[in-house]
Structure 1
Amino acid sequence: MTGIPAGDGLTIRPAAEADLPAIVAMLADDPLGATRESPDDLTPYRDALKELTGDPHQHLVVAERDGRVVGTLQLTFLPGLSRRGATRSLVEGVRIHADERGSGLGTVLMEWAIDTSRRADCQLIQLTSDASRTDAHRFYERLGFEASHVGFKLQL
């Protein structure tokens, strides 16, 4: 995938290693991320990026405006047997730079994810959001997502 112009000086493109400082800073820029991200040590993020870029089911993208990374998300395609062998997509790690929040950039990124999922013949797009992120829940609902399941996690 090459960069896709999204208007207003914005391009959505695959993430590169040079983008990691900006991506990790956005991941860490909220109360939850601040407790689990390590912007001072990019080594594990570099390792993860290598694994992601080697997997055709993984799409880590950035939104770049005028040469500056201002947003990111990860889109994963999950082939499965349920739903008559449907492929679903999973959205993770949606982050918008603090200077861009409220600008519509989150909508542009999510529309990219939805359109990309449709083009890949996914039957369903899903995401999880921490229970404390009520603003994010309203955002996803405005895009047509429905809170349909109870999620469980086990830290390993």
Structure 2
Amino acid sequence: MSQNTAPQNQTAPRNPGPGTAKDSWSGGGTLFAGVLLAVVGIIDIIEGIAAIAEDTVYARVGGYIYSFNLTGWGWIHLILGVILAVTGWGILKNAEWAKIAGIALASLNIIAQFLFLPYQPVWAIVSMAISVFVIWALAHDKSRTPMTA
């Protein structure tokens, strides 16, 4: 009979600390969220300019209870797009204000795109999905310091 004389490892598995693969994945998600927020902002700017320049660019798909002037929607998208693009740039520069503002503005973009559904349904749904990812990525960012009261 032979006995196993190799030492047994009795230590408990260590909890991964900061700088692990999970943290880098979350940081990559934040970087990607900044890029997506900037791209959504730029597309909103283009969408707004198109709506301001010509009222016949967008055709109304269905009848909704709420009705807004398309030129007014153009200005809303233009202003929101500029703010989204600047905030996306701030996230890429790792600014704390941009991460907090990114969550708020992505939420506002979801509402604006929902109300814009009759004019561009496919892009509105895609933009809402992108905004949900941006909110998730920024809310799960491990590099942020906890907010103080």
TM normalised by structure 2 equals 0.33
Where relative contact order (Cα < 8 A, 6+ residues apart) is larger, the structure is: 2
Which is richer in helix? 2
Bigger radius of gyration, 1 or 2? Answer: 2
Which is richer in strand? 1
TM normalised by structure 1 equals 0.32
